[in-house]
Amino acid sequence: MNEQNAMKPYVIGLDLGGTNSVFGIVDARGEIKATTAIKTKAYDNEEDYVNASIDALHIIIDQVGGIEKIKAMGIGAPNGNFYTGSIDFAPNLPWAHDHSVPLAKMFSERLGGIPVGLTNDANAAAIGEMIYGVARGMKNFIMITLGTGVGSGIICNGQMVYGSDVLAGELGHVIVRPENGRPCGCGRRGCLETYCSATGVARTAREFLEKSDTPSLLRDMNPEDITSLDVSIAAQKGDKLALEIYEFTGELLGEACANFATFSSPEAFVFFGGLTKAGDLLMKPLVRSYNEHVLKIYKGKAQFLLSALDGSSAAVLGASAVGWDL
Amino acid sequence: MNEQNAMKPYVIGLDLGGTNSVFGIVDARGEIKATTAIKTKAYDNEEDYVNASIDALHIIIDQVGGIEKIKAMGIGAPNGNFYTGSIDFAPNLPWAHDHSVPLAKMFSERLGGIPVGLTNDANAAAIGEMIYGVARGMKNFIMITLGTGVGSGIICNGQMVYGSDVLAGELGHVIVRPENGRPCGCGRRGCLETYCSATGVARTAREFLEKSDTPSLLRDMNPEDITSLDVSIAAQKGDKLALEIYEFTGELLGEACANFATFSSPEAFVFFGGLTKAGDLLMKPLVRSYNEHVLKIYKGKAQFLLSALDGSSAAVLGASAVGWDL
């Protein structure tokens, strides 16, 4: 830790989600020293949102000894733009859905001018893994978040790949089934996230239930109500159809990762998000499929890792890591 | 140009191909001051190959004022490994097909210890475009070489993406048709290069001739003898089937580039190689298909460029650029 870090030993992390905005004050080892939260959607405009955030933050900043102890702030947010520090047209945020909000600048001005960096949530997760998590010390890895959708953050040569417009790393929208793929929310068909997200698993369940007669615990449910968690619970009880659903999901994700390897030949793929709770149900077919599908020169090389950051704090840690990286 | 460059104004480039090894002495503007060549396969072992190379090089080095004028050497070679400076198990090189040849070190020792960098041909082409070519000043672009096979070199944040093992950037082996794809030389099916290389175009021609009755100039030929050049000549005469073959090729390549955009959101795709001689026949359907298939946030952003480096010297320039980049 250098002298400046010793005097300013903390960064603020903000995990700005569609529902909650969680703040944490984090030290260089990834220990959360104080935390607080506000409701993201309870505000009509960005000024009110920032005012409420600053009120909440002052309390936890005082707990760690005041703003003098804070080096920087990092924000992970949907549609966050690292180059401009703004949130651009985020469909799920009432105060940012129809314009661009210069959130990094607004926070910096209200926090005595400390540097504030903002990036999207998947990129923040990748930086978090590199600084505090299972990818510590790695220069080349791909982070894939498997939640409601599929997000990604790509690290090459020890740097985040932002691309020409900060919009790089949308691997959830790689088209994995170019012929007769599933319709995606993005308006196209066959995107990875229509198969390998939590909602993708639920879609697979409905498809498999319809096209087969295999008995299954899932048949006791209204097909529209089935979630990936239900599938995972059934699979853990040995339900054959549920196991097939995870086989299919892992198989397709492994095939996709095999294609990603040709791009950046990563040392590891790191997975995070709700779907990873299925553990080996997902990871075993994934790794097997990867090694079956990948070009020979890459075979058996990449590690497949689950994020070891605690789920509830990982997003805040990821956001805070952006602060260390400024 | 800094002082050292003023005193050592040249680099040597070696384009080490399966048939010819072409040497050039190049200045910082990409002007080739002297050039020579030897036959790559005329030697039984690497010592004989390097001896013959040094004999040929001495003549052109003397032409530019001696080894004191040379800053470095860059080599572009099949299976070239930038991290180790060796050529590893290159199937087409009689003196390197069954072992690893530390070629960079061998040349450096014979050239008074100047730095020698070695990378594969597609990466050399990408660095060449960044230093002398159409990608000058770009920090994020993807170079795709469309020859007998499909190669690629990826630049992110102004740096070559080598990955964890220097084997990144094999986009010719992205599987673009996961279901019933064409068999590929790599042992898998559906790789991009089975469709969008010179040999891929010839395969498409044979497929299209067989499955349709459309009259075509190509029917006058023995199907096994058809090359991509024949298809291009027929298409330029307005041959309907030949035009459809290029439509299909461009369509598929555009679809693939749309997927690549999700990875690194490049400022440009730069194309090089025999197939690009077809010009608009390939590029128009390619750009149209890209914009049809790409995720909305990337639409209309990337440039599609043809390498402006002279075909016969581009590979030598690319190799020499590796020398400037050391």
For B230-277, the pLDDT digits (tens) are 999 999 999 999 999 999 999 999 999 999 999 999 999 999 988 999
Per DSSP, the three-state class of B169 is coil
Is A263–B260 a contact, with Cβ atoms under 8 angstroms apart?
Answer: yes
- Pairing type for strands B303-306 and B268-272 reads parallel
Same-domain check for residues A198 and A296: yes
Residue among B25, B3, B5 nearest B14 (CA): B25
Six token digits for residue A85: 């520090």
Which residues from A are below 8 Å from B264, CB to CB? 154, 161, 163, 168, 263
Same-domain check for residues A174 and A295: yes
Helix or strand holding residue A106 (H, E): helix A103-110
Convert the pLDDT of each residue in A57-107 to its tens digit: 999 999 999 999 999 999 999 888 999 999 988 888 889 888 999 999 999
Phi and psi at residue A10, to the nearest 5°? -125, 155
Same-domain check for residues B165 and B282: yes
The answer to whether the CB of B274 falls within 8 A of the CB of B147 is: yes
- Cα A323 to Cα A140: distance, rounded to the nearest angstrom: 20
Cα atoms in the Cβ-side hemisphere of radius 13 Å centred on B63: 14
Q: For residue A66, with 0-12 CB atoms within 10 Å meaning exposed, 13-18 middle and 19 or more buried, which class applies?
A: exposed
Please count the residues of chain B. Answer: 326
pLDDT higher for B3 or B287?
A: B287
Which residues from B are below 8 Å from A293, CB to CB? 175, 188
Nearest CB to A165 within list B171, B187, B301: B301
Which residues from A are below 8 Å from B140, CB to CB? 163-164, 168
- Cα B57 to Cα B12: distance, rounded to the nearest angstrom: 9
Residue among A252, A224, A230 nearest A242 (CA): A230
Domain holding B52: CATH number? 3.30.420.40
Same-domain check for residues B304 and B318: no
Same-domain check for residues B254 and B165: yes
Which residues from A are below 8 Å from B157, CB to CB? 156-157, 159, 161-162
User: Testing the interface with B: which of A100, A295, A296 to mutate, by most B Cβ within 10 A?
Assistant: A295
Is B263–A173 a contact, with Cβ atoms under 8 angstroms apart?
Answer: no
The ipTM assigned to this model is 0.90
Is B295–A168 a contact, with Cβ atoms under 8 angstroms apart?
Answer: no
Same-domain check for residues B102 and B183: no
Same-domain check for residues B104 and B248: no
Q: Who's near A266: CB < 8 A, 6+ residues apart?
A: A140, A141, A142, A155, A260, A302, B163, B164
Alpha helices in chain B (DSSP H): 3-7, 46-63, 103-110, 121-131, 193-196, 198-211, 228-236, 240-264, 280-293, 311-324
Is B263–A169 a contact, with Cβ atoms under 8 angstroms apart?
Answer: yes
% of residues, chain A, pLDDT over 70: 98
Please count the residues of chain A. Answer: 326
Closest-CA distance, A302 to chain B, in angstroms, reads 9
- Cα A145 to Cα B271: distance, rounded to the nearest angstrom: 32
Per DSSP, the three-state class of A97 is coil
Is B265–A293 a contact, with Cβ atoms under 8 angstroms apart?
Answer: no
Is B171–A262 a contact, with Cβ atoms under 8 angstroms apart?
Answer: yes
How far, CA to CA in Å, does B170 sit from each of A273, A296, A297?
A: 29, 12, 10
Interface of A to B at Cβ within 8 Å reads 139-140, 154, 156-157, 159, 161-171, 173-179, 186-188, 255, 258-260, 262-267, 293, 295-298, 301-302
Is B175–A297 a contact, with Cβ atoms under 8 angstroms apart?
Answer: no
% of residues, chain B, pLDDT over 70: 98
Helix or strand holding residue A46 (H, E): helix A46-63
Residue B326 has pLDDT above 50, yes or no: yes
Same-domain check for residues A11 and A117: yes
Low-confidence ranges of chain A (pLDDT < 70): 1-5, 311
Is A263–B264 a contact, with Cβ atoms under 8 angstroms apart?
Answer: yes
Residue B1 has a pLDDT of: 45
Same-domain check for residues A158 and A102: no
Same-domain check for residues A266 and A227: yes
Which residues from B are below 8 Å from A296, CB to CB? 186-187
User: Testing the interface with A: which of B252, B264, B267, B297 to mutate, by most A Cβ within 10 A?
Assistant: B264
Chain B, nearest residue to A190 by Cα: B293
> Mean pLDDT throughout B305-318?
85
Number of domain units in chain B = 2
Residue B4 has pLDDT above 60, yes or no: no
Residue B253 has a pLDDT of: 98
- Cα B277 to Cα B311: distance, rounded to the nearest angstrom: 10
- Cα A69 to Cα A55: distance, rounded to the nearest angstrom: 18
- Cα B30 to Cα B128: distance, rounded to the nearest angstrom: 9
> Mean pLDDT throughout B156-180?
95
The DSSP output letter for B14 is: E
- Cα A318 to Cα A316: distance, rounded to the nearest angstrom: 5
pLDDT band at B3 (very low <50, low <70, confident <90, very high): low
Six token digits for residue B123: 């990466």
Per DSSP, the three-state class of B124 is helix
Residue A310 has a pLDDT of: 73
Nearest CB to A164 within list B140, B177, B296: B140
Parent domain of A250: 137-308
Same-domain check for residues B124 and B15: yes
Same-domain check for residues B164 and B251: yes
Neighbour order of strands in the sheet with B150-156: B159-160, B150-156, B141-146, B268-272, B303-306
How far, CA to CA in Å, does A9 sit from each of A6, A21, A37, A84?
A: 5, 23, 22, 26
Which residues from A are below 8 Å from B79, CB to CB? none
Q: For residue B116, with 0-12 CB atoms within 10 Å meaning exposed, 13-18 middle and 19 or more buried, which class applies?
A: buried
> Mean pLDDT throughout B108-124?
94
The answer to whether the CB of B293 falls within 8 A of the CB of A162 is: no
Residue among A131, A121, A15 nearest A73 (CA): A15
**CA angle centred on B51, ends B45 and B52, rounded to 5°:** 95
Is A263–B168 a contact, with Cβ atoms under 8 angstroms apart?
Answer: yes
> What is the overall mean pLDDT for chain A?
94
